[in-house]
Structure 1
Amino acid sequence: MNSEVATRKILVLGASGLIGRFITDDLRLQGFQAIGVARHFEPSQKTSASDLELPIMSMDAASLARLIREREIDVVVNCLGVLQDGPGSDTRAVHRDFVERLLAAIRDSGRAVRFAHISIPGTADEDRTAFSTTKREAERLIAASGIPHAILRPGFVVAPAAYGGSAMLRALAAFPLQLPGDESATPFQPVAVEDVSATIAWLATRDIGDPAANAVTWDLMQPQPITLGNVIDQFRWSFGTSHMPRITLPGFLLNLGARSGDLANRLGWMPPMRSTAIAELRRGVTGDPASWMAATGIVPTTLAQAVGGHAATIQDKWFARLFLVKALVIASLAVFWIVSGFISLVISFSAAADILRAHGFPSWLVNPMTAITSLMDMSIGVLIAFRRTAAVGLIAGIVVALGYMVGAAILTPDLWIEPLGALVKTGPAIVLMFVALLTLDNR
């Protein structure tokens, strides 16, 4: 790389995501000056002083133009995207409205900037979801802008990290589960995240007036046809689970899972199985990478090379096995606390009060104490159910459960030896809450 190219600065928006994080780090390894921008970075993600935490979605065109101008940016890479509308997620705001402001910012920055935009494969007549229609609206805005640009449409992205759909496919491969026949046969062309990064690097080395890199739309994926079932089978080979007998999931179970995911989405969670994800999965991932390969000279990494080049490590296996279980753990803990509190407050209030009364509690304190502890249990369950407050709820659950155990040991020690062992079972519940707390991270 010559010195002129090495001094080019690349602004990566959405640098905390699966694609954005890899691109930012990889470009730096190649010698580029890459500045990663995200609303928030986890401590493990912020690997350089060049990573900036900015309220990017609330910045207007003037603020974005100032960022580009003051940082002397030569290439802007937009990796921002959300799957589905929900609390804190607005597909139109992220995919279309922000791109409109960003294009205005590039025009007003006073710099010759190339814009690389990460979009999705397919055509407008196939778009059925808010996710895909807003992505396509952004493409039309970019094409009409007159700004030097490249619209990149990656296939199913295979990366060392896993998030969302890529994590879900790994989880399916780790268990003896098979998708229904129609879904398994869906075309699903993958691309290695290294090839996406190589494309950005190639674009960054081109002069701003190079016609080979301007006003292009490329499908980034391996040319060999492949199905969703083939992708999962390749992960099975890596995990060593190819020999396992498989249970084919009925189609209605996918629809039920999508509705459950939509409910979880309303609570602030971002499960990979939502109605949009299932709709896009059934649509498939196809395209023609010929023009991309011809222009850049990149030979796409095949799925067998990307996944089969090395056996899965123990951390890969643990993650895949725990990914689906995590949702079950969170849901069961939320239900456990809400239902147990509801039973004590509504159904078995007298029986619960009698336990306290039988162990010497003052009569004036029995009913208020029973109501307070019941409402406290239900509140813990509600806190766990919402993503924003889940950590607080789990910590509160651990503290309260320990309090119950210590209080029982002091005030009602005979409850420790009652036939059903209710207090003894509190210990494993505490451990389960601790496990849920440790697995809350998404990135």
Structure 2
Amino acid sequence: MTHAMPHVLVLGASGLIGRFITDDLRARGFAATGLARRFSPSQASAGDLALPVMAMDVTALAQLMRTREIDLVVNCLGILQDGPGSDTGAVHRDFVARLLQAIRDSGRDIRFVHVSIPGSAADDQTAFSRTKREAEQLIIASAVRYAILRPGFVIAPSAYGGSAMLRALAALPVDLPAAESATPFQPVAVTDVAATVAWLAEHDAAAGPGVVWDLMAPHPAALGDVVAQFRHAFGTTQIPRFALPAFLLDLGARLGDGVSWLGWSPPMRSTAIAELRRGVRGDPAPWMAATGIAPTTLAQAVGDRGASIQDKWFARLFLIKALVITSLALFWIASGFIAVVLSLPATKAILVSHDFPSVWVAPLAIGTSVMDMTIGVLIAFRRSCAFGLIAGMLVSLGYMVGCALLTPDLWLEPLGALVKTGPAIVLMLVALLTLDNR
């Protein structure tokens, strides 16, 4: 007699770990429903649900589990730190409390698999780690059968957040400060995390009522070792480097915190640096003994072969992307500000010298300057950035065509302001094409 494969619900299925787990389960023949607030077009799948998951109450969650006949719930939801629309306590602790109650109310015998973080409560210094630990305590105290997975630094074929940052460090001529480079940093391949979830789905009875496992390579490694392995894959081991002073990391984290209020999710924020300095360590022996999984080595996780050209381009451009968007936002804001605040008489004089009607001069000078500053503000905010870049390209083309028709002599201006508009349009196109995060 054959038994039906368990049906797995993966929460956070658009993220780095959640997406890989969902796809891996399906490849192994499991029925897997991926749930996330939204999926990118490239992630869209008939088996996924795009729902406002954080807004779902206990009743809605329990109903979903009943109607889908869920046997295993995998929670991969998480955020790095508090910010506009982001509350670590709400995501890590409060939602888990609702999820546990929903599992109990569903009337089904469901195992709850929770992706957490390694370490102990004594080392938790951030809201991120404290709320993750509070969720663990809720799970252990509940009557729900559980498996708390504490993966080390996750290495995956795709890159997001911290893993993207380490790739960038490996590709560029910079190095971490000595203290940060020596931080314990035990990695784990995302394939091992997915294999553990699949093992739990297939050997549910063998897992017992509750387990807490550290998922990571058994051999100690430092953060510098992980970066060095990526350098080997990128072929950049011989590039001269300068070590970043520690204060630059702190400054970058402060800037990242500020940018997050504009809707961006930069990997370098104060929480990320604090967690990096704490390090990643644990004891994978119980996990290995229970599942029989032999952890993938660091060299295998990064890849024994050389990196592909798309890997290299991504790593080189990852940090430059932020510089490009910042410079474009400042360029548009500054150009409009200078024209209307600092140089309004000169702006009017240029228009008057080209026989513009006097009644149009002030409105045109002020209107175009305000439009420029508006474009800069639109580019600065993550939600409106794409619209701002498209508007910037169209306005720039409009300036070029308008000047060619009405003031062609400006094309011969000694500093070549109009000539430089072409490369600016290309730079905005580059920013638009690299705007996706997933």
TM-score bracket relative to the smaller structure: over 0.9
1:252 aligns with 2:279: no
Which residue is equivalent to 2:72?
A: 75
Which residue is equivalent to 1:7?
A: 5
Which residue is equivalent to 2:325?
A: 330
1:36 aligns with 2:31: no
Cα distance per residue 1:140-189 (max 9 Å; x no partner): 00000021100000000000000000000000000111100000000000
Pairs within 5 Å for 1:193-232: 193-207=190-204, 209-210=205-206, 212-232=207-227
Q: Which residue of 105, 120, 125 corresponds with 1:123?
A: 120
1:189 aligns with 2:186: yes
Which residue is equivalent to 2:390?
A: 395
Cα distance per residue 1:209-242 (max 9 Å; x no partner): 44x3431100000010000000000000000000
Which residue is equivalent to 2:353?
A: 358
Give the residue type in structure 2 aligned to 1:150: A
Q: Which residue of 17, 23, 26 corresponds with 2:24?
A: 26
Pairs within 5 Å for 1:14-413: 14-46=12-44, 48-207=45-204, 209-210=205-206, 212-413=207-408
Provide structure 1 residue ranges, at least 5 long, that are not aligned to the other structure: none
Distance 1:31 1:213 in 2: 23
TM-superposed CA distance for 1:274, in Å, is 0.3
Distance 2:54 2:347 in 1: 50
* TM-score (structure 2 length as normaliser): 0.99
SS at match of 2:383: helix
Does the CA contact (< 8 Å) of 1:155 and 1:188 recur in 2? yes
Provide structure 2 residue ranges, at least 5 long, that are not aligned to the other structure: none
Distance 2:435 2:95 in 1: 29
1:427 aligns with 2:422: yes
Give the residue type in structure 1 aligned to 2:151: P
TM-superposed CA distance for 1:3, in Å, is 4.2
Give the residue type in structure 2 aligned to 1:34: A
Give the residue type in structure 2 aligned to 1:26: D
The Cα RMSD (Å) is 0.9
SS at match of 1:393: helix
Distance 1:303 1:7 in 2: 32
Give the residue type in structure 2 aligned to 1:433: M
Distance 1:137 1:29 in 2: 33
Distance 1:283 1:291 in 2: 23
Does the CA contact (< 8 Å) of 1:150 and 1:213 recur in 2? no
SS at match of 2:46: coil
* TM-score (structure 1 length as normaliser): 0.98
SS at match of 1:387: coil
Give the residue type in structure 2 aligned to 1:188: F
SS at match of 1:76: strand
Cα distance per residue 1:35-59 (max 9 Å; x no partner): 101110011001x311110110000
Cα distance per residue 1:13-36 (max 9 Å; x no partner): 000000000000011001100110
SS at match of 1:218: strand
Q: Which residue of 409, 425, 433 corresponds with 1:438?
A: 433
TM-superposed CA distance for 1:88, in Å, is 2.2
Distance 2:348 2:149 in 1: 64
After superposition, the Cα gap between the structure-2 partners of 1:187 and 1:109, relative to the gap in structure 1 and judged at 3 Å, is: same
Does the CA contact (< 8 Å) of 1:83 and 1:277 recur in 2? yes
Does the CA contact (< 8 Å) of 1:7 and 1:32 recur in 2? yes
Q: Give the ranges of 4+ consecutive aligned residues of structure 1 lying more than 6 Å apart after TM superposition.
A: none
SS at match of 2:42: coil
Distance 1:182 1:375 in 2: 47
TM-superposed CA distance for 1:370, in Å, is 0.5
Q: How many equivalent residue pairs? A: 438
Distance 2:2 2:202 in 1: 11
Q: Identity over aligned residues, as a percent? A: 71
TM-superposed CA distance for 1:417, in Å, is 0.9
